[in-house]
Amino acid sequence: MNARINYFGNALAGKVMKHLNSAGAAVHSALPVATQELVKIRASQINGCGFCTDMHTKDALAAGEDQQRLNLVATWHEANVFTDAERAALKVTEEGTRIADAAGGVSDDAWTDAAKHYDEDQLAALISLIAIINAYNRINVINQQPAGDYQPGMFG
């Protein structure tokens, strides 16, 4: 599989990515790194983005995440390896990513549960992170960006 265009080498796309990357950097310190990677992985799985799933599983491993937890992200509902806070973030991620599939988007129950574990800044970061990873997923899926070659840190 080849990408439709060289998105990473395109000047206009580079401008877009610069802004997305800046938005991602703004939320970086507000949530635990493990939670951020779990959110990125789960949204990427839902959206069928192999490139982002590859990237974020490798980044999570490089940051010290446990392989078993990564293996269970897609089935987090049945797994007992995630904290209550992580489970709340994954629930908001799923409902926020599947807006078209769920009447009303993120349910009040999911939001209330997340608000038990995260303060307002962290909730703002969670909302933003979900939006940002969904944007990255859509870029890569539309462009048919191949997965498998990512190396942790290769984008700086």
For the chain, which residues make up each domain, given as ranges?
A: 31-143
| Selected residue with higher pLDDT from 102 and 66 | 66
As a whole number, mean pLDDT of residues 43-67 equals 97
Start-to-end CA distance of the chain, whole Å, equals 25
In contact, 103 and 53? CB cutoff 8 Å: no
In which residue are the tokens 């009040």 written? 108
CATH superfamily of 31-143: AhpD-like (1.20.1290.10)
Distance separating alpha carbons of residues 20 and 16, to the nearest angstrom: 6
pLDDT at 154: 86
Separate counts of helices (H) and strands (E) for the chain? 7, 0
Q: Is the pLDDT of residue 111 over 90?
A: yes
The pTM for the full model equals 0.95
Q: Is the pLDDT of residue 134 over 80?
A: yes
**Residue 37: other Cβ atoms inside 10 A:** 24
Of the pLDDT bands very low, low, confident and very high (cuts 50, 70, 90), residue 155 is confident
In contact, 122 and 28? CB cutoff 8 Å: no
